[in-house]
Structure 1
Amino acid sequence: MHQQITMSPPKRTRQDLVAELEALLQKSVDRGAPGVSAAVASSDDIIWESAKGKSDIVGDRPLDSHHHFGIGSITKVFVAVVILQLVDESKLALSNTVDKILNPEVYAGIENAGQASIERLLSHHAGIDSWEDEPSWIVRGRGKDIRNDHIWGKTEALDYVRRPRVTAPEPGQGYYSNTNYTLLGLIIEKITGQTAEKEIRSRILEPLDMDQTYFEGFEEAKHPEHLPHRYHWATDRFRDTAGVAPSFPYVRDNIIEVTPSNLSTSWTAGGMISSVHDLLKFASALRDGRLLGSASKDILKDWKPFPDSSQQVGHGIFRWDSLGTSNESWLGHTGGVLGFSAFLLWREEGDCAVCVLSNVGSVHSGDVPANAVTVVKRSNFLEIAAELAGISKKSAA
């Protein structure tokens, strides 16, 4: 009787893993994303980076790893870090409520805003409607009535939710709201006496040498020549919800160019520009505890259930126990605004951080064939990245 010998599959080399990551980026472009930029870091070192597709479809210009992108709600992580630093400094308490900090006219008419605590704002449990979900705001902020040259005031988006709540549940239940982080930005300014963007710069960007990151519309652009053209999925849902502005031409079926727009309406809820290089510096610093004290780091990762059962929410970041084909826990945040999509992640246990950015947005577009988030969620990208980080660590040792 012959004994059956089971052969284990050959281990993939670094070259194999890199080729697979490159192929996944190309697949996203083939599915319709104008351009995608991505990088993987281990410790503080970028161990792989690449970009596929176009920075300008009509001009036929390639995208590269030096391009900068809108990062959408990854902005919220920066805001949360500053808020938690202020807690560390005893300038704020998580139990403080909005009505004890901001002037009443700032939050007037917004149901549940006055009694919302810092803790509930951070974790999206405040029961406050999101201006992003208000139909009249959508057409002005993303769609047919947009004014491309208009720089929104910092409280202007709040004017769209000065009414009884329509979409938010009772306080204490999870509901993702951009309004929460607009209020947190205003709280930073009230407590410090400085602009939120200045506080984020002095507390995070400058210490980490993040010189490619800024608030569009509120700070001078860093290397504007590195901004790609901006595109958005104009699906039936987007056309029905937002409508297409006359200044946004179709460049492909269901893809419009939105380059004249700006991110000022999103401000501290989603208005920052950055790069894969800068964001991986930020992820590494967060993972290593270089930005927060131990107590605040624990608060950041104090997980609560969220309506989407695939994720849990902390106080500024999310946790996924399963993402794509990876069954490991990953922490981070997605981002989506007009013209851009983004995903920043790091392993909860293990030395790997991943950033994917794209110059196509899909907010209010529903399910789309490709953007920065689909690269991660619809493939084995994270598994490959983690394996690559493991190989790199062994090689360094």
Structure 2
Amino acid sequence: MIFRRLWLSTAVLALAVSSLPSAAASAAPRPSGTGWSVQRDADALRDTGVTGVAVRLETPRRTITVRSGVRDLVTRRPVSNDGHLRLGSTTKTFVATVVLQLVGEKRISLEQTVEQLLPGVVSGNGNDGRAITVRDLLQHTSGLSDYIYDVFPDPSAQTYFADRWRAYRPEELVALAMRHKPDFPAGTRWAYSNTNYVLAGMIIEEITGRTWEQQVHDRILRPLGLQRTDTPGTKPFLPHPHTANYQQFTVDGPMVDTTIPYRPFDSGADGSMTGTARDVNRFFTALANGRLLKPAELAAMRTTIPVPEDSGHPADTRDGLGLFFTPLSCGGGYLGHGGSGFGYVIRAATTTDGRRTVTVSAHSRSADPRTAARQEDALRNLIDHALCRST
């Protein structure tokens, strides 16, 4: 996921989706009642310029799937039905779950420091692993610089195509972050940094002797039967079927097919996973229902701190350990995480009791900040309506 503070924002790219005219009429029939409401909201998101939108809402009574726009701008076929998605930073919730399982097994503590677990890795330029805890990493209170500003300093299509095949080892990404002073002393403030979860993945391997990918498969994917979710690392190709992703690098510029990712971003524990909306919903429902974590660790994950007002999140959003809490207009709130990259946005959300879960994917992003604002509004409305309205 490409952001420092908000799941949709980044220092190098504007938020969200294209300002081009609507790509196509809805690819699915418009059902009545609540189903029509979800379809209408998906169409509203498409009408901001998104090339393709897909929504999967699951409730105790029914499952609603809607699509809007096109699978690609060449054939203009309908958006894929439950197609494969890049999960981006939604990966972080899987990784945090594994870390908290290790906490429940007494193999690690949230108060252990990075220096104790990864000696000498976080040091230099005022960075001090002795002051940063595992909790700080999972809750983005470490103050560590985000490596993404080093691997993609120039927001251009030329840079994207020139460097997209390059891959970094986790240690290299952390070393890039160590070239910068921390943003603040650990534990004193909040700021999103992908570097935190690169380190979390390294800690999982150090503690277990197996990669974070292996642990996610063994502890989450296999027990839940998530057969269409994977940890492909730097492998560039998305399984079929899938909807193409498009990035607009400059305002009024062309939409560039970015379905093949920019590998320096999100190639590890901070955002490399792929999956489907069906699998993502099943994961977040199981997490909220307590199927993956013991009560103490689930409570720790759901213990939140305020996210700064200028972070770009909805008002009163709070951050837990790999899980955000966002208020709903109907009262209460939802738990979830988003992911974004070149040409795509995904957000997964579940009510706190796990009874209503929705995953939304948008398959293009715009360089126009005004379009970005419209995209954000439409996306938030869709999720709020999906989780508030009874079916």
Partner of 1:336: 340
Aligned 1:1-150 pairs, distance under 5 A? 15-43=32-60, 47-104=63-120, 106-109=121-124, 111-115=126-130, 116-132=132-148, 134=149, 136-139=150-153, 144-146=158-160, 147-150=163-166
The answer to whether the 8 A contact 1:342-1:358 is kept is: yes
Deviations 1:37-80 (A, max 9, x none): 1111125x861012221221123232122211112111110010
Report the CA distance between 1:140 and its aligned residue: 7.0
Report the CA distance between 1:149 and its aligned residue: 2.5
The answer to whether the 8 A contact 1:74-1:334 is kept is: yes
Partner of 1:225: 240
The answer to whether the 8 A contact 2:318-2:324 is kept is: yes
Instruction: Please give the alpha-carbon distance, in whole angstroms, between the structure 2 residues aligned to 1:60 and 1:384.
Output: 27
**For the structure 1 residues 261 and 367, does the alpha-carbon distance in structure 2 shift closer, same or farther, using more than 3 Å as the test?**
same
State percent identity of aligned pairs: 26
Instruction: Please give the alpha-carbon distance, in whole angstroms, between the structure 1 residues aligned to 2:156 and 2:272.
Output: 13
Q: Which segments of 5 or more consecutive residues in structure 2 lack a partner in the other structure?
A: 1-30, 310-314
**For the structure 1 residues 384 and 148, does the alpha-carbon distance in structure 2 shift closer, same or farther, using more than 3 Å as the test?**
closer
The answer to whether the 8 A contact 1:112-1:126 is kept is: no
Instruction: Please give the alpha-carbon distance, in whole angstroms, between the structure 1 residues aligned to 2:239 and 2:353.
Output: 37
Instruction: Please give the alpha-carbon distance, in whole angstroms, between the structure 2 residues aligned to 1:343 and 1:372.
Output: 13
**For the structure 1 residues 265 and 131, does the alpha-carbon distance in structure 2 shift closer, same or farther, using more than 3 Å as the test?**
same
SS at match of 2:83: coil
Q: Are 2:231 and 1:188 aligned?
A: no
SS at match of 2:318: strand
Aligned 1:157-168 pairs, distance under 5 A? 157-165=173-181, 168=183
SS at match of 1:125: coil
Larger relative CO (CA 8 A, sep 6+): 1 or 2? 2
**For the structure 1 residues 380 and 344, does the alpha-carbon distance in structure 2 shift closer, same or farther, using more than 3 Å as the test?**
closer
Give the RMSD, CA atoms, in angstroms.
2.7
The answer to whether the 8 A contact 1:71-1:357 is kept is: no
The answer to whether the 8 A contact 1:358-1:372 is kept is: no
Report the CA distance between 1:153 and its aligned residue: 2.1
State the one-letter code of the partner of 1:259.
T
Instruction: Please give the alpha-carbon distance, in whole angstroms, between the structure 2 residues aligned to 1:224 and 1:350.
Output: 28
**For the structure 1 residues 253 and 46, does the alpha-carbon distance in structure 2 shift closer, same or farther, using more than 3 Å as the test?**
farther
Partner of 1:319: 325
**For the structure 1 residues 198 and 231, does the alpha-carbon distance in structure 2 shift closer, same or farther, using more than 3 Å as the test?**
same
Q: Are 2:350 and 1:346 aligned?
A: yes
Report the CA distance between 1:338 and its aligned residue: 1.6
Q: So what's the TM-score if we normalise by structure 2?
A: 0.81
The answer to whether the 8 A contact 1:263-1:271 is kept is: no
Deviations 1:102-156 (A, max 9, x none): 142x334364351210011111111111113x2x422379854342333332233
Greater Cα radius of gyration, structure 1 or 2: 1
State the one-letter code of the partner of 2:349.
L
State the one-letter code of the partner of 2:231.
F
**For the structure 1 residues 359 and 384, does the alpha-carbon distance in structure 2 shift closer, same or farther, using more than 3 Å as the test?**
closer
Residues paired across the two proteins, number = 351
Q: Which segments of 5 or more consecutive residues in structure 1 lack a partner in the other structure?
A: 1-13, 237-251, 392-397
Q: So what's the TM-score if we normalise by structure 1?
A: 0.80
**Structure 2 residue corresponding to 1:199, chosen from 211, 215, 224:** 215
Partner of 1:383: 385
State the one-letter code of the partner of 1:15.
S
State the one-letter code of the partner of 2:358.
V
The answer to whether the 8 A contact 2:140-2:191 is kept is: yes
The answer to whether the 8 A contact 2:347-2:359 is kept is: yes
Q: Are 2:268 and 1:256 aligned?
A: no
Instruction: Please give the alpha-carbon distance, in whole angstroms, between the structure 2 residues aligned to 1:68 and 1:321.
Output: 29
